[in-house]
Amino acid sequence: MAALRANNWRGYVFVAPATLYLALFAFFPMVFAGYMSLHRWHLLKEDHPFVGLANFTTMLADPFFRNAIYNTLIYVVFSVPLGVVTSLAVAALVAQRLRGVGVFRTLYYIPAIGSKVAISMVWIWILLPEVGLINASLKWLGGEGTTNFLAEPGWAMAALVAMSLGIGLGPRMIIFLAGIQSVPQTYYEAAALDGCTAWKRFRHVTLPLLAPTTLFVVITTTIASFQLFTEVYMMTRGGPRRTTDVVLYHIYKEAWQKFEVGMASAMSYVLFAMILIVALLQFRIMRRGLSEGAVA
Amino acid sequence: MRAARLILGSVAIVSLAGGCADDEQAATTVLRVANWGGAQVEPEFVRLERRFREEFEVLHPGVRLRVEQIPGPGQYAPKLLMMHVTGSVPDVIHLDASSAAVFIDNHVLRDLTPFVESDPGFDLSEYFENVVNIARRGDELYAIPLDFTPMVMYYNKKLFDQAGVPYPRTGWTCTDFLEAAKKLTVFADDSRKAPVQYGVSFENVMPFWVPWLWTSGGDVLDPSGKKASAYFDGPETTQAMQFLVDLMTKHRVAPHLKESAAAGVDLFRSGRAAMELKGHWMMIDYRADGINFGVVGLPTNTSKRVTVIYEAGMSITRKARHPELAWEYIKFMTSKDVQVRRVASGLAISANKEAAAQYAGDPIEDAFIEEVAYARPPWGATVERYPFIEELGREMMEDILYSDGELPVEEALRQTAKLIDAALAEP
């Protein structure tokens, strides 16, 4: 026992850099942001008076912040289910043992290696009226082709959701693919012997066994969706008419246009709480599903 | 044991690297200068800037200039302010009149009066007085102006000739303007749905449309800059805003936001808009494209001749490490010799009167210079939160235009004035 403990120092040495890094650049800023959120803290003013929970009450009474929460929820509600279903479908397709399937796997993954800024620029072009890929295609099909997707309230959010499907597809697909491939072949053979169609094999073998993978993908996609920022910053700047002003972009404006970093920290904590609650709920609901699936 | 040796080894390497850096710094003094802009700037202009840098280094042996470019819309002020807070701000910063207040009022900059007064080689009267005054606070002065531009109306002579409309002249009224714009608008067919050519282009950027409020006697804030009510929703501003909105919705002589974005290009530049309210900087592109244009002041129905002036000055930061050297650099950059060569690019008008006079005689330059006497600084020069107000103004314009008439201009102005009041009232 003593010998074991004497050897432990090597372990500590190995985890020290990562621990130090996290402490310095993740945990300390988090705690400090919590401290700032209880103060009226203007970046450039000398004194930062303690205001208790005033930042939180002010923010929750602010119609613009509530609008940002609403927009974020809209984005999450559409982008998460659609994103998970599309990437699962694509993963199921590229899991087939077919010639050239590797090419498709690569193609679907490519958007994930590009920078979001570059992809946003490409999408700005795709969405342009008249000359953009979508409008030009609509025109070719006999439509008007004049919809300015990023400038019309309603369309802009839809465009962001559509874009998220493409960007997030690759990483989600890879995880689903790994999950699908780890399902033992014997189960499929047994199911086939029992006369299951391909759809039934997918529905009753793949899907239940994939539940832990799905849980992981749903939660990571949800977190990423709550943290939507780059695309909004690049493409819509929260407009038109604040329909794409999401919480993280709102926080950015609070901190870097108004320099109210105390309020921005408080808003970050609200976002953190929202993500935590939703993730925990998903975890509980899907875990229940998991254990029921195991019993069945 | 091996781990310990590894750690020791890396420590040695790190300290070695540190040693090198120290040696270099001992040999030269580094003067840090912050500037906006980045990759989009003309290569010719970049070369010119490098030449000035080299000339300055020759004049001051042992000094190395380090220009730090901070590109990106809305990134410049936040980044510099953050650098100020952390004590890593450059010695010299370029100061944009539109966001000068946040720097001056938070004591990021030094008062330059002592430098001006103790330096016999510097004469403040060489610069346009009302441009100098942008960075003045009582007896204190926080920037020496580099260059500037008033906003003027550009017009495309070819399109005016085609439509048989006489060129606009100083003293024209809003009625003249509207008549001309109507004649210069060309529709694809009789449905009058989508113009193929507009009388005037429009961009929903508040700095570009605020002069319209001023020429009709309205304003965003009261003279003290403390509140918007009774000004932003006053009768003059309401009338001016209605006029602007009507250009797009009722008369169809200016592109609705949907249409201007749809074009995806600068409508004036591509010959699809006959007029445009812009600054001197656009001349580089228009000349490069061979557009035959003229410029004139804004039309007005009141006797109030006014436009906004956007300016770049140079300031020394309060936390500068080499303030004396910084002053030498500012003097060098704003000197007639450097200015004459710098404004040759067409970017702006030199704030140095002698340098600006070099270009006198050119009708376009003269038209710009004429406007200087009527130009007033943007609110951002004196109101710290003005950039945020400009954001509210942009959103309001979107609200009005996308509501398809459901949100009356009056109501929108009243609502936004309240929001601005609230933003300004926060302690």
Q: What is the mean pLDDT of residues B14-30?
A: 54
* Nearest residue, CB atoms, A44 vs list B106, B263, B391: B106
If phi > 0 it is left, if psi is from -120 to 50 it is alpha, else beta; for residue B94 that is beta
Three-state secondary structure call for residue A24: helix
Structure tokens that stand for A26 in this block: 């993740």
Q: Which residues of A touch B80 (CB under 8 A)?
A: none
DSSP bridge partners of B210:
none
* Contact across the interface for B261 and A148, Cβ inside 8 Å: yes
Question: Residue B411: pLDDT above 60?
Answer: yes
* Contact across the interface for B81 and A43, Cβ inside 8 Å: yes
* pLDDT, position B28: 86
* pLDDT, position B16: 42
Mean confidence (pLDDT) of chain B? 87
* pLDDT, position B108: 95
Give the phi and the psi of residue B67 in degrees, each rounded to 5.
-90, 125
* pLDDT, position B6: 43
Give the phi and the psi of residue B267 in degrees, each rounded to 5.
-65, -40
Task: Say if B388 is an interface residue toward chain A (CB within 8 Å).
Answer: yes
Lowest mean pLDDT among A88-102, A217-231, B13-27: B13-27
Q: Which residues of A touch B257 (CB under 8 A)?
A: 151, 240
Please give the interface size between A and B, counted as residue pairs whose CB atoms are below 8 Å apart: 59
Question: Residue A290: pLDDT above 90?
Answer: no
* pLDDT, position A2: 58
* Contact across the interface for B102 and A240, Cβ inside 8 Å: no
Confidence of residue B308 (pLDDT cuts 50, 70, 90): very high
Helix, strand, coil proportions of chain A in percent (round to 5)?
75, 0, 25
Using CB atoms and an 8 Å cut-off, which of residues 184-203 of chain B contact chain A? Answer: 194
On whether the B26-150+310-376 domain is CATH 3.40.190.10, my answer is yes
Mean confidence (pLDDT) of chain A? 89
Using CB atoms and an 8 Å cut-off, which of residues 318-377 of chain B contact chain A? Answer: none
Nearest CA in chain B to A239: B395
List, as one string, the DSSP characters of B292-346.
-EEEEPPP-SSS---EEEEEEEEEEBTT-S-HHHHHHHHHHHHSHHHHHHHGGGS
Distance CA B255, CA B193 (A): 11
* pLDDT, position B24: 47
Interface probe for A, chosen from B388, B396, B420 (most Cβ of A below 10 Å), is B388
* B336-340 long-range contacts, CB within 8 A, separation 24+: B336/B126, B338/B52, B338/B55, B339/B146, B339/B147
Q: Which residues of B touch A239 (CB under 8 A)?
A: 395, 398
CA end-to-end distance (rounded Å), chain A: 44
Task: Say if A151 is an interface residue toward chain B (CB within 8 Å).
Answer: yes
Question: Residue B39: pLDDT above 80?
Answer: no
Using CB atoms and an 8 Å cut-off, which of residues 253-282 of chain A contact chain B? Answer: 253, 256-259
Confidence of residue A293 (pLDDT cuts 50, 70, 90): low
Confidence of residue B345 (pLDDT cuts 50, 70, 90): confident
Lowest mean pLDDT among A268-282, B236-250, B338-352: B338-352
* Nearest residue, CB atoms, B399 vs list A130, A131, A241: A241
Q: Does the N-terminal peptide bond of residue B114 adopt cis geometry, omega within 30 degrees of 0?
A: no
Question: Residue B263: pLDDT above 80?
Answer: no
Nearest CA in chain B to A49: B427
| Distance (Å) from the alpha carbon of A128 to chain B's nearest alpha carbon | 6
pLDDT tens by residue, B70-97: 887 678 998 999 999 999 999 999 999 9
Interface probe for A, chosen from B258, B318, B384, B401 (most Cβ of A below 10 Å), is B258
Question: Residue A22: pLDDT above 80?
Answer: yes
Task: Say if B411 is an interface residue toward chain A (CB within 8 Å).
Answer: no
The CATH classification number of B152-308+383-425 equals 3.40.190.10
List, as one string, the DSSP characters of B380-413.
GGT-TTHHHHHHHHHHHHHHHHHTTTSS-HHHHH
Residue B286 in contact with residue B217, Cβ under 8 Å?
no
| Distance (Å) from the alpha carbon of A242 to chain B's nearest alpha carbon | 8
* Nearest residue, CB atoms, A44 vs list B81, B262, B399: B81
* Nearest residue, CB atoms, A259 vs list B81, B194, B257: B81
| Distance (Å) from the alpha carbon of B262 to chain A's nearest alpha carbon | 5
Q: Which of B167, B291, B238 is nearest to B414 (CA)?
A: B238
Confidence of residue A130 (pLDDT cuts 50, 70, 90): confident
* Contact across the interface for A128 and B264, Cβ inside 8 Å: yes
Nearest CA in chain B to A128: B262
Lowest mean pLDDT among A168-182, B9-23, B61-75, B81-95: B9-23
Cβ neighbours of B124 (radius 10 Å): 14
Task: Say if B106 is an interface residue toward chain A (CB within 8 Å).
Answer: yes
Task: Say if A234 is an interface residue toward chain B (CB within 8 Å).
Answer: no
| Distance (Å) from the alpha carbon of B388 to chain A's nearest alpha carbon | 6
Between B300 and B142, the more confident residue is: B142
Question: Residue A218: pLDDT above 80?
Answer: yes
Say what percent of chain A tops pLDDT 70.
95
Three-state secondary structure call for residue A144: coil
Q: pTM score, two decimals? A: 0.81
* Contact across the interface for A44 and B82, Cβ inside 8 Å: no
Q: Which residues of A touch B3 (CB under 8 A)?
A: 10, 13
pLDDT tens by residue, B201-224: 998 989 999 999 999 999 999 999
* pLDDT, position B22: 45
Give residues with Cβ within 8 angstroms of A81, minimum separation 6.
Answer: none
Q: Which residues of B touch A151 (CB under 8 A)?
A: 257-258, 261
R_g (Cα) of chain A, nearest Å: 24
Task: Say if B264 is an interface residue toward chain A (CB within 8 Å).
Answer: yes
What letter represents residue A261's amino acid?
V
| Distance (Å) from the alpha carbon of A153 to chain B's nearest alpha carbon | 8
Task: Say if B108 is an interface residue toward chain A (CB within 8 Å).
Answer: yes
Distance CA A91, CA A173 (A): 5
Say what percent of chain B tops pLDDT 90.
62
Q: Which residues of B touch A256 (CB under 8 A)?
A: 74, 78
Burial state string for B61-85 with b = 16 or more CB within 10 A and e = fewer than 16: eebbbebeebeeebebbbbbbbbbb
CATH 3.40.190.10 spans which residues of chain B?
26-150+310-376, 152-308+383-425
Annotation: CATH topology of A64-114+164-295? MetI-like fold (1.10.3720)
Check residue B194 and report its DSSP letter.
Answer: S
Confidence of residue A282 (pLDDT cuts 50, 70, 90): confident
* pLDDT, position B4: 44
Give residues with Cβ within 8 angstroms of B424, minimum separation 6.
Answer: B221, B225, B226, B227, B228, B383, B385, B389
Q: Which residues of B touch A150 (CB under 8 A)?
A: 261
Task: Say if A152 is an interface residue toward chain B (CB within 8 Å).
Answer: yes
* Nearest residue, CB atoms, A131 vs list B264, B402, B427: B264
Between B266 and B315, the more confident residue is: B315
Confidence of residue B114 (pLDDT cuts 50, 70, 90): very high
Question: Residue B241: pLDDT above 90?
Answer: yes
Question: Residue B152: pLDDT above 50?
Answer: yes
Domain boundaries, chain A: 64-114+164-295
* Contact across the interface for A258 and B385, Cβ inside 8 Å: yes
| Distance (Å) from the alpha carbon of A11 to chain B's nearest alpha carbon | 11
Three-state secondary structure call for residue A153: coil
* pLDDT, position B136: 94
pLDDT tens by residue, B323-335: 999 999 999 999 9
* pLDDT, position B387: 87
Structure tokens that stand for B163 in this block: 């439509």
Structure tokens that stand for A190 in this block: 């047994």
Task: Say if B285 is an interface residue toward chain A (CB within 8 Å).
Answer: no
Residue A286 in contact with residue A218, Cβ under 8 Å?
yes
pLDDT tens by residue, A95-111: 888 888 889 898 888 88
Q: What is the mean pLDDT of residues A158-168?
A: 92
CA end-to-end distance (rounded Å), chain B: 60
pLDDT tens by residue, A68-100: 999 999 999 999 999 999 999 999 999 888 888
